Amino acid sequence: MGWLYTRRDKDTTPVAFLTAQFDHERYEVLAHATYMREVYVAVKDRRDETVTAMVFLIHHCPRDAHYNFGYKDMDESMGPVVTSCPARILDLLTEPPNNWAREWREKCRATIAAREQAKTVVSGSRIRIEGRLSFSNGHVIEPGTVVTVSRRGRSVLVSGYHRLPPLHEFTYSLVEEVRCA
């Protein structure tokens, strides 16, 4: 359940390195996706034709000449905490092996839905914060507060200078939607 650090050649991508670790006589890699420092892989077991998800957390250490790449591997039955697996990977999976895998898949689907909802929030939209949000400068937004959103690139700002966490990471409701012309 820990991290493994090793050497990875610069010309080998993290996905190529990680998928090379599989026994290709027994397993077939059907698809993979990378999100920030997470790698999701749909793996088919050739013995029983089941398809399961593997999750890798990755860490790059470019200054270390010998141990420049670290990863933590787990499968969906371990109930990974990261839930950014894309739908195209989830759609390939067969019956979940246990309840942890089932719950993990549900959380991944909820993350996908929350990200889709977040795309509808544009500059000028008003949202009601459903939970308490604290900022590093001590400012707090209490539950029920309605704020006007200002988008600058990927950042979502309120009160002109407080950057909200990504919209899919907290609960809010859309009070007033602004339509783009």
Chain segment 66-88, per-residue pLDDT in tens: 899 999 999 999 999 999 999 99
End-to-end CA distance of the chain: 51
Same domain? 106 vs 58: yes
Q: With respect to residue 26, please indicate whether it lies within any of the assigned structural domains.
A: yes
* HEC per residue, 26-44: CEEEEEEEEECCEEEEEEE
What pTM value is reported for the model?
0.82
Cα distance between residue 170 and residue 131, in whole Å: 7
How many domains does the structure of the chain reveal? 2
Per the structure, the complete domain to which residue 154 belongs is given by 126-176
Work out the burial of residue 72: count CB atoms within 10 Å of its CB; fewer than 13 is exposed, 13-18 middle, 19 or more buried: middle
Residue 154: pLDDT band with limits 50, 70, 90:
low
* Domain's final residue, options 73, 100, 118: 118
Same domain? 45 vs 19: yes
Q: With respect to residue 181, please indicate whether it lies within any of the assigned structural domains.
A: no
Q: With respect to residue 35, please indicate whether it lies within any of the assigned structural domains.
A: yes
Same domain? 16 vs 82: yes
